[in-house]
Amino acid sequence: MKAIILASGRGTRMGSLTNDTPKPLLEVWGEPLIFYVLRSIPSEKIDEIIIVVNYLGDQIKKAVNEEFGELNIRYVKGSEKGNSYSFMATKRYLDDERFLLIYGDEIPGYDNVRRCLRKDLSILTFNGGTYDGVMVLNTDMFKYKPEDDQFKSLLDRFVEDHDVDLVEARNFLGGINTPEDLDRVGKKLPKIYV
C-alpha cells in the first residue's frame, strides 16, 4: 500500500515564516511538521511513500532524505494551483488501489493513522465534522476533476459516491495554519506525545 503526503504549498497564512522555509519544515517542539507525518506512518502497512512537493521542494527532499533515508520515498512535483491539482500529479504512480493520504503540515499521531487504516475507506475527523488531514481513499479519486485549489472539493464528491467511515481523532491538536497555531500546538504536544 502507498501513502501520499501533500507538501507542496507555501502556507501563506504563516506570513514571513515561510519566506525561506516551506511550511512542512516549520518546527514544533524541535521537529519539522513533516517528520511527525512520516513517523505516524506504520512501515508494516505502507511500502512506498509519495511526497508531493513544489514550493522550496528541494529543502523538503534534503531534510527528509537525511532523516528518513531508509524509507522508500518518491518525490512528485506538485502544482502552484493548490492541493487538488498537486494531488492529481500522483495519478501515474498508483494502480487500482487504496492509499493513505496525509497533509504534510499535520501532526496526525501514529494511533490515529492506524485506526484509519483499519477501515476500507476512512477520514479522520474531529467532532464528527472537521477533516483532520488523514484519510484512506482509493484511486476512484482521480475520476473527479479539481474545481478549485482545495483538496476538500475533490474529497466531498468522493464521499458522496462512496461508503467512507469517519474515524474520530484522539488527542486532537487542531489545524496548524498560523504562527499562533505553532505556539499553541507546541504547548500541547509534549503532554500528548512525549
Written as tens digits, the pLDDT of the chain (194 aa) is: 999 999 999 999 999 999 999 999 999 999 999 999 999 999 999 999 999 999 999 999 999 999 999 999 999 999 999 999 999 999 999 999 999 999 999 899 999 999 999 999 999 998 877 887 999 999 999 999 998 888 999 999 999 999 999 999 998 888 899 999 999 999 988 776 54
Q: What angle do CA 165, 87, 17 make, to 5 degrees?
A: 105
- Look-up of cell digits 477501515: 119
Rounded Cα–Cα distance for residues 54 and 58 (Å) = 8
Rounded to a whole number of angstroms, the distance between the first and last alpha carbons of the chain is: 29
Residues 38, 25 contacting (CB under 8 angstroms): no
CA 41 from chain centre, in angstroms, equals 11
Domains within the chain, CATH numbers bracketed: 2-193 (3.90.550.10)
* pLDDT of the residue at 188: 87
Q: Which three cell numbers stand for residue 62?
A: 534534503
* pLDDT of the residue at 174: 81
* pLDDT of the residue at 172: 82
CA 149 from chain centre, in angstroms, equals 15
Q: What is the pTM of this model?
A: 0.95
Rounded Cα–Cα distance for residues 7 and 59 (Å) = 11
* pLDDT of the residue at 38: 97
- Name the 3-class secondary structure at 56: coil
* pLDDT of the residue at 194: 45
Rounded Cα–Cα distance for residues 36 and 32 (Å) = 7
Residues 106, 132 contacting (CB under 8 angstroms): yes
Rounded Cα–Cα distance for residues 164 and 93 (Å) = 23
